[in-house]
């Protein structure tokens, strides 16, 4: 068995050496009109691909041997991350340490690092909102950036035309995004799976193209600049003070979002969403109003995108349609999938990993995105349920004497 695996890895390394030979070995010097042969590069490609292939096959074999079995002796197996989360002796000290670090962060680290953390917390809001739609209700939404766009442009346009402040528009932006979520929900009530994804993708592109081409309304691709930052009872603040203020504002918004989303998941509507995700036909047969359940999922999920959009516009003070493309929706979806669909803690961890990891891989220069993609691939292969997997609730019948 081991010999066969090594033979396969050797074949992979030879194949990689053959494919990369023209690029890694041959170098044409156009100045002196000579060809330089870089055989050392071919050697490193062969050794590296052999080692990586052997390691990959070893890990896959261990996975297939049942290390990540979902059930043992008929009882659902709880992962290490879930055991830690359910252990009060671990969670209370961990929350205390995280709280201290969060409060001290803007005073210890630079303004640049604080801005990165603000961006990560904006993605926490977006991820938790999309988690309602995708992770809990099981509705694949590829146009989520449209609601993010609605929230951002709500603040920018209302401030530009009517002078509305940040706190006035925060609720208005969330409400308008929820309204657009309902508008999207009606045409897709009968759709599921790939068809639902295509329609939501088209909806997201429609919103972006309207903002990009309707110059009289949204100023087109030029965008809107000089958007006011959040104020605090009229107190004048410099850039550093405003950044710290927005940082603590995002902490408060994140805690509020976590509380509300957690209550929603444990509520009656949350259980209806889970039933809808597991089996739509059985859900409807049990008397659950499928139309109302889907519309509430789209509306509540879009609400948090509206909140995040208003905060994003206030943070950057400039927005244009290029900030709300399809790739933005895909990034938010990656937060949910990477962290663990349906898991609040997983989505939070996924948001920080997805935003912070590319920033702290900058030392790899042009290979930064390649390394980041490799990390995501390995993660999805060996932990397909996400960083923090959700544990299905199981009920056992025990006969009493």
Q: Which fold has domain 84-382?
A: ABC transporter involved in vitamin B12 uptake, BtuC (1.10.3470)
**Contact between 182 and 295 (Cβ < 8 Å):** yes
Torsion of CA 200, 166, 119, 377, to 10 degrees: -10
> For 10-58, how does the pLDDT look when each residue is reduced to its tens digit (9 = 90+)?
888 888 888 888 877 888 777 777 888 888 888 888 888 888 888 777 7
Q: Give the 3-state secondary structure of residue 70.
A: coil
Cα–Cα distances (Å) from 62 to 56, 57, 341, in that order, read 10, 9, 24
Cα–Cα distances (Å) from 166 to 73, 173, 313, 331, 337, in that order, read 56, 10, 10, 26, 32
Cα–Cα distances (Å) from 303 to 147, 266, 309, 350, in that order, read 8, 19, 10, 20
The rounded distance, in Å, linking the Cα atoms of 387 and 397 is 31
Q: Which residues contact 330 (CB under 8 A, 6 or more apart)?
A: 142
The rounded distance, in Å, linking the Cα atoms of 177 and 135 is 19
The predicted pLDDT at position 237 comes to 82
Q: What is the 3-state secondary structure (H, E, C) of 247-277?
A: HHHHHHHHHHHHHHHHHHHCCHHHHHHHHHH
The predicted pLDDT at position 67 comes to 52
Quote the pTM value.
0.80
**DSSP string of 366-378?**
GGHHHHHHHHHHH
**Contact between 255 and 130 (Cβ < 8 Å):** no
The rounded distance, in Å, linking the Cα atoms of 341 and 387 is 10
The rounded distance, in Å, linking the Cα atoms of 298 and 97 is 35
**Contact between 133 and 301 (Cβ < 8 Å):** yes
The rounded distance, in Å, linking the Cα atoms of 129 and 332 is 10
Q: If we measure between CA atoms, which residue out of 352, 320, 317 comes closest to residue 334?
A: 352
**Contact between 36 and 20 (Cβ < 8 Å):** no
Q: If we measure between CA atoms, which residue out of 239, 210, 2, 1 comes closest to residue 110?
A: 239
> For 142-175, how does the pLDDT look when each residue is reduced to its tens digit (9 = 90+)?
889 999 999 999 999 999 988 888 999 999 999 9
The predicted pLDDT at position 259 comes to 92
192 — alpha (psi -120 to 50), left (phi > 0) or beta? beta
Question: What is the DSSP pairing of strand 71-72 with strand 75-76?
Answer: antiparallel
Low-confidence ranges of the chain (pLDDT < 70): 1, 63-91, 363-369, 390-401
Q: If we measure between CA atoms, which residue out of 352, 387, 354, 351 comes closest to residue 372?
A: 354
Residue written as tokens 């929900």?
185
């Amino acid at each position: 068995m081991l010999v066969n695996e090594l033979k396969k890895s050797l074949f992979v390394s030879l194949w990689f050496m053959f494919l990369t030979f023209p690029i890694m070995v041959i170098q044409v010097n156009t100045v002196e009109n000579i060809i330089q042969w870089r055989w050392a590069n071919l050697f490193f490609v062969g050794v590296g691909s052999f080692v990586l292939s052997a390691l990959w096959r070893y890990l896959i074999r261990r996975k297939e041997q049942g290390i990540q079995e979902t059930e043992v002796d008929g009882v659902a197996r709880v992962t290490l991350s879930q055991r830690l989360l359910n252990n009060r002796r671990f969670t209370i000290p961990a929350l205390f340490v995280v709280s201290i670090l969060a409060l001290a962060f803007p005073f210890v680290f630079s303004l640049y690092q604080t801005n990165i953390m603000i961006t990560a917390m904006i993605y926490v809001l977006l991820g938790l909102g999309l988690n309602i739609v995708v992770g809990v209700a099981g509705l694949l939404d590829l146009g989520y950036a449209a609601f993010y766009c609605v929230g951002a442009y709500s603040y920018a346009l209302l401030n530009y035309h009517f002078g509305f402040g940040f706190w006035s528009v925060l609720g208005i932006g969330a409400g308008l995004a929820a309204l657009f979520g309902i508008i999207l929900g009606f045409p897709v009530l009968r759709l599921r799976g790939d068809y639902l994804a295509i329609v939501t993708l088209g909806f997201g592109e429609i919103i972006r193209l309207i903002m990009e081409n309707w110059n009289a309304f949204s100023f087109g691709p030029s965008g809107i600049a000089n958007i006011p930052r959040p104020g605090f009872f009229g107190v004048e603040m410099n850039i550093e003070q405003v950044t710290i203020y927005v940082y603590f504002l995002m902490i408060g918004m994140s805690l509020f979002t976590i509380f509300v989303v957690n209550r929603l998941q444990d509520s009656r509507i949350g259980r209806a969403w889970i039933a809808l995700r597991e089996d739509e036909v059985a859900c409807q047969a049990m008397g659950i109003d499928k139309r109302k359940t889907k519309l509430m999922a789209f509306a509540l999920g879009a609400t948090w995108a509206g909140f995040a959009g208003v905060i994003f516009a206030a943070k950057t003070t400039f927005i244009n349609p290029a900030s709300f493309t399809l790739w933005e929706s895909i990034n938010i979806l990656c937060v949910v999938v990477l962290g663990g669909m349906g898991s609040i803690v997983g989505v939070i961890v996924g948001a920080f990993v997805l935003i912070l990891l590319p920033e702290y891989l900058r030392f790899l220069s042009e290979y930064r995105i390649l390394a980041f993609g490799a990390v995501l691939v390995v993660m999805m292969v060996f932990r397909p349920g996400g960083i923090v997997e959700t544990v299905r609730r199981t009920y056992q019948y025990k006969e009493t004497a």
